[in-house]
Structure 1
Amino acid sequence: MVLPIIISSLCTSLGALPVLFIKDVSHKGKDIMLAYTAGIMVAASAYGLIPSALKLSNMTILIIGILIGTLVLTLLEGIIPHDDLNHSSDSTSQSSVVLFLVAMSIHNVPEGLSVGISHSQEIGIGPLVSFAIGLQNIPEGFLVALFLLTQKISRLKSIFYASLTGVIELIAGLVGIIFGESFQSIVPYGLAFAAGSMLFVVYKELIPESHGDGNERASTLTFILGFITMVFLTDLLQ
């Protein structure tokens, strides 16, 4: 029962490995990658998390979860020392890195709970859910590592931090197995919370950074490409 959850979580690390072969990224390349990341996150929220939350609950819970996620990220941003990004340089924004990792980790909590609960209920869908989430974790792992690489984080550290977000999902999956149906009512809140936190990071950090150095047109087109990519993957796994 535990092995499928472990494998599903490890897919995040697997997806992060390709950054080992990515060469130094130019400033324009960085902006394009940030925009692609933003497109994926918006699609994951609008096409994946939000509809799933609505299917499991109602509009009230969805709104509450999104607003709480936004509020938590707003408070967190106020706590984290914020470095104003200089778009003419390759400086690293500590706030951007931390907020992004927090948003992606939060995103993995309801996914992990869903996998764990699907196994605990013994209705035969556990392996299917683990497989679907595992496939989704591969591009997500690449997404996290790629973003960190654009923020001047080393390749090995980028893979390590991406893997940590997978560990969060593993822990949530184990909690889902242990508590089973007791945690089922929390999942919709978690999905909506994750959507709110990811949308906050996209609009507050990723889009402004990708548009700050004269690459607006290329970044916009890449944002749309990222959005389409995630919509396609989500539809493929449904």
Structure 2
Amino acid sequence: MAGGTVTIFHVFIAAFVTAAATGFGAIPFLFIKEFDNKWLGIGNSVAAGLMLGASIGLVYEGITIEGVDQKTFKVIGGLIAGGTLVFISHKILNNTDKDYSIGQVTGASAIKMLMIVGIMTVHSFAEGIGVGVSFGESPSFGSFIAIAIAIHNIPEGLAISLILIPRGTSVRKAALWSIFSSIPQPIMAIPAFLFVLAFKTYLPIGLGFAAGAMFWMVFKELVPDAREELNSKYVYLLMLITAIGMILFQFAIDV
């Protein structure tokens, strides 16, 4: 037993629940049966806003975390590293001869879908560390953070589903891909719980890294794709409204 009344099993279950909550983001699509090109534009715009809001939240969390030295520089370093890695990964995927696919989707759309799932998976490493660190500080604080992240994961699952489902992925598979993207949360929560001080030191880097990856995807992929199917003013309006909503949502569950 560690961290008072909290055990490794408790931390794992809490982090697993946060991961499973991501799948709920696909539920609205049970009621939407058909998609045309307009929905691709709307979906990309809303997904961009959700990811932009989440990225801003990660940066804020990284620079305000207590008990960590040089956190601002660590966040900035993470931002640069995250954006650079996604840029390189995107170049490699686009220049390879391999035919990537998710379900029945192949080619450029499949690469885009793989990038989104991959970036959200990277994001989940930082969230898993956050859960473990929080439980290492106190059981009540850990429970609060786990609940907050679980709620926060639902719109992240929605962002993933907005990319996958209009391109031909089933609702069930989109939910499973969403949950898959959050699997690092229970994996990373346990070592972070056991070695709370060591992991907390590097948490701002992880938060910045995830934010940098998402910033790149928003402005280099999602927004340009949305503008191909939707008038630019509607793209930016939808993105702005959704990003503000996401930021306010994150602020509300953290208060």
Indicate whether the TM-score tops 0.5: yes
TM-score, normalisation: structure 1: 0.89
Contact 1:132 1:237 in 2 (8 A): yes
Residue in 1 aligned with 2:80? 67
Residue in 1 aligned with 2:177? 161
Task: Tell me which amino acid in the other structure corresponds to 1:168.
Answer: P
Shift of 1:214: 4.8
Residue 228 (structure 1) aligned with residue 244 (structure 2): yes
Distance 1:147 1:164 in 2: 15
Residue 62 of structure 2, aligned match among 53, 57, 68: 53
Superposed CA offset, 1:186-229 (max 9, x none): 11000000110000000111000000135323222211221122
Unaligned runs of 5+ in 1: 84-90
Residue in 2 aligned with 1:152? 168
Residue in 2 aligned with 1:200? 216
Residue in 2 aligned with 1:40? 50
Residue in 2 aligned with 1:209? 225
Shift of 1:181: 2.2
Unaligned runs of 5+ in 2: 1-9, 97-106
Residue in 2 aligned with 1:15? 25
Contact 1:210 1:219 in 2 (8 A): yes
How many aligned residue pairs are there? 231
Shift of 1:28: 0.9
- Residue aligned with 1:24, SS: coil
- Residue aligned with 1:93, SS: helix
Residue in 1 aligned with 2:156? 140
Contact 1:117 1:177 in 2 (8 A): yes
Runs of 4+ with deviation above 4 angstroms: none
Residue 4 of structure 1, aligned match among 5, 14, 29: 14
- Residue aligned with 1:94, SS: helix
Shift of 1:123: 5.5
Identity %: 27
Greater shift in the superposed pair: 132-141 or 208-217: 208-217
TM-score, normalisation: structure 2: 0.84
Task: Tell me which amino acid in the other structure corresponds to 2:89.
Answer: L
RMSD in angstroms over aligned alpha carbons? Answer: 2.0
